[in-house]
């Protein structure tokens, strides 16, 4: 079994090649497409590093917000992603029913949504997650 380079290192090498050598050599639409490809590789790399931990943290917050004590998240991968989708569906139903319209419940749901948004931005585009100076 080959240990190095791992998937993350391979993605980073291709991303760096695109950004440092391909993008500067192109113009117009091909340059734009090369930038998009490099960005996609960067997102996939961050997903590999941060994705499962972010999903697990989201699952725990959702379980707390939805009051489902005593349960544990699935081990990971597709099962964890499916469990988070199901809990998000339940949260959306609760919000539509007015269950988070006021008080401590509203604050709890908003805190969960802010944390989830920050985690997703850290993967999709960390520049957007950074606080901006005004």
Instruction: Return averaged pLDDT per consecutive 10 residues of the chain, 134 residues in all.
Output: 85 97 97 97 95 96 90 91 96 96 95 96 88 60
Whether 86 maps to a domain, the answer reads yes
* Residue 69 DSSP SS3: coil
- Residue pair 43/58 in contact (Cβ under 8 Å)? The answer is no
- Domain for residue 134, yes or no? no
On whether residue 67 sits in a domain, the answer given is yes
Stated pTM of the model: 0.84
Is 36 among the domain residues? yes
CA–CA dist 46, 16 (Å, integer): 14
Q: Is the residue at 2 inside a domain?
A: no
Position 128 scores a pLDDT of 85
- Looking at residue 51, what is its pLDDT? 95
| Within-domain flag for 85 | yes
3-state helix, strand, coil in the chain (%, to 5): 75, 0, 25
Domain count, the chain: 1
Q: 70 in a domain, yes or no?
A: yes
CA distance 134 to 129: 15
- Quick one: pLDDT at residue 71? 81
Domain that holds residue 108: 7-129
């Amino acid at each position: 079994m080959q240990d190095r380079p791992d998937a993350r290192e391979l993605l980073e090498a291709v991303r760096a090649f695109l950004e440092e050598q391909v993008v500067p050599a192109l113009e117009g639409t091909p340059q734009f497409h090369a930038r998009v490809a490099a960005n996609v590789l960067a997102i996939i790399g961050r997903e590999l590093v941060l994705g499962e931990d972010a999903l697990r943290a989201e699952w725990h917050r959702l379980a707390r917000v939805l009051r489902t004590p005593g349960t544990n998240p699935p081990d990971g991968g597709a099962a964890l992603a499916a469990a988070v989708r199901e809990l998000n569906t339940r949260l959306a139903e609760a919000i539509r029913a007015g269950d988070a319209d006021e008080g401590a419940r509203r604050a709890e749901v908003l805190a969960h949504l802010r944390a989830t948004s920050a985690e997703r931005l850290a993967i999709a585009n960390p520049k957007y997650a950074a606080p901006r100076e005004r």
